[in-house]
Chains A and B, each alone.
Chain A
């Protein structure tokens, strides 16, 4: 039986303690957060099945935290907690994607019943999802079938797993799915983005620290290796891990224990380590940015996360899935697109992969005035009100920027998405002539070839405007 993990978000410690004590007796793993900031940290560290979110957090509304939970942990059921009994608030929170609404005058027995009912329903729905394709894993293409088969073979093997794939292909979804089907599923899943945390904090985040280990260490803190227990820890963007920390990680993987900062007592590493990156690690090793010995250590079982281009037959199913998700989230009833729009969606190369498709569908739903998806909303980033030859160059520059290039992206992903769009733009402008690109952007030809390889571009395809034609067709 999988351990159910629940997070209580309430600014009142009395409420947190009372619910935590009551719910732990149901064999639930319960964590507490007293603010939106603590909520963000908790979501970063642990995957939850249920979140109880207080409607009023000090001077802020708990509903501010709802989009973050739905984005970071879409499989968690969020119940809004409130001391008031307002139908309007209940409707509003459900409209925004909450699974339910609980008032604080509910007896503890009623609270338990509500949560049990939700968890039973969710177990059934999880089983349905697993039967149709792993948890959160949508698609039946050959590429996805092959990936699933490989995951099935390695799911219970303790070796380190390396997930490779372009940005936006769902590497974290694969890691979570691998955890869910493994014999470690009853243990926690923890994830950390090695590129998103400052170097000086990453070590403490991974290994934990003792009180007084450094100036801000006011109490003992468990690191993610310890939080993951015998479960799974995902080291996302491993290619961005600082070189000094790579050395320490290598030692941990070899010796199977780690030492929290400020401690001398080794803690055994029980979790399975899964690494993921969109970088070409071999190239990173050659350039000296990634340790060769660590590369060999983590390059044991490799799972390739396919680009959306290579699994275009999954696109209709993904569109339907994202549409349903957005309709629920925004309280809309936008219909599945007509054949002409589906053709356009299928023809587009989706450089930002599934994430870009998801963002485009979301934009289409949000902007739809009549419950239909419209091409100008889905492909919003390809439209410009300006016309004429002088505007065309600007428009083309805009057109190559993927919709996934949002200011909300982590820096590493934003930088990668921009680099891809930038390279695409200059290759088209130079008709695939590497020397011209090299001169235009002030880099050596060897650098251009490395970038081509990194982003999966073939310069030949830009000769004679084929790539341009492919882009502007949409």
Chain B
């Protein structure tokens, strides 16, 4: 269960920044399927790049918890990337897949709560 501080930005009382927050929510909605696709296709370089970028924009807009979750996903993706490069066992990769998917699910859950608060029209 996410707390109010997890789903709200400290900057949302500023109309200009609120507009950017709404745009960010739209971006997240578009990027979430891409993150899932990266995991299923094992495109770890792209997963690192995307999660790193979203970690940055989350933090800049004051979504600290979301930023931390993207940071975890980025770290897992980096681990998977190095394991993948080192051609480790498929079994290990399966374990990583589960971790990555669980990490993404936590992001999606939090995102849905943020979206409920900020999506345009709400």
Chain A residues close to B by CB (< 8 Å): 10-12, 14-15, 17-19, 21-22, 54, 56, 58-59, 83-84, 103-105, 107-108
Query: Across the interface, do A19 and B60 meet the contact criterion of CB distance under 8 Å?
Result: yes
Q: Which of B61-79 contact A (CB under 8 A)?
A: 61-62, 64, 67, 71
- Report B-chain residues with C-beta under 8 Å of the C-beta of A84: 71
Does B57 interact with chain A (Cβ within 8 Å)?
yes
Query: Across the interface, do B49 and A59 meet the contact criterion of CB distance under 8 Å?
Result: yes
Query: Across the interface, do A105 and B57 meet the contact criterion of CB distance under 8 Å?
Result: no
Q: How far is the CB of A360 from chain B (nearest CB, A)?
A: 41
Q: Kindly identify which residue among A14, A56, A58 contacts B60, using a CB–CB cutoff of 8 Å.
A: A14
Instruction: Give bound CA distance, A104 to B54, whole Å.
Output: 11
Chain B interface helix/strand/loop/mixed: helix
Q: Which residue of B lies closest to A109 (CB)?
A: B10
Instruction: Give bound CA distance, A420 to B83, whole Å.
Output: 58
- Report A-chain residues with C-beta under 8 Å of the C-beta of B120: none
Q: How far is the CB of B45 from chain A (nearest CB, A)?
A: 8
Chain B residues close to A by CB (< 8 Å): 10-11, 16-17, 20, 23-24, 27, 45, 49, 52-53, 55-57, 59-62, 64, 67, 71
Query: 23 A-B pairs, CB-CB below 8 angstroms?
Result: A11-B53, A12-B53, A12-B56, A14-B20, A14-B57, A14-B60, A15-B57, A17-B23, A18-B57, A18-B61, A21-B17, A54-B56, A56-B52, A56-B53, A59-B45, A83-B56, A83-B67, A83-B71, A104-B55, A104-B59, A104-B67, A105-B59, A107-B10
Instruction: Give bound CA distance, A107 to B59, whole Å.
Output: 9
Query: Across the interface, do A14 and B59 meet the contact criterion of CB distance under 8 Å?
Result: no
- Report A-chain residues with C-beta under 8 Å of the C-beta of B27: 14
- Report B-chain residues with C-beta under 8 Å of the C-beta of A11: 53
Q: Which residue of B lies closest to A82 (CB)?
A: B56
Q: How far is the CB of A253 from chain B (nearest CB, A)?
A: 41
Query: Across the interface, do A17 and B20 meet the contact criterion of CB distance under 8 Å?
Result: yes
Query: Across the interface, do A83 and B59 meet the contact criterion of CB distance under 8 Å?
Result: yes
- Of B20, B49, B56, most A-chain CB atoms within 10 Å: B56
Q: Kindly identify which residue among A12, A103, A108 contacts B57, using a CB–CB cutoff of 8 Å.
A: A12
Query: Across the interface, do A108 and B11 meet the contact criterion of CB distance under 8 Å?
Result: yes
Q: Which residue of B lies closest to A24 (CB)?
A: B16
Query: Across the interface, do A105 and B67 meet the contact criterion of CB distance under 8 Å?
Result: yes
Query: Across the interface, do A83 and B20 meet the contact criterion of CB distance under 8 Å?
Result: no
Instruction: Give bound CA distance, A104 to B16, whole Å.
Output: 19
Instruction: Give bound CA distance, A21 to B17, whole Å.
Output: 8
Instruction: Give bound CA distance, A17 to B52, whole Å.
Output: 18
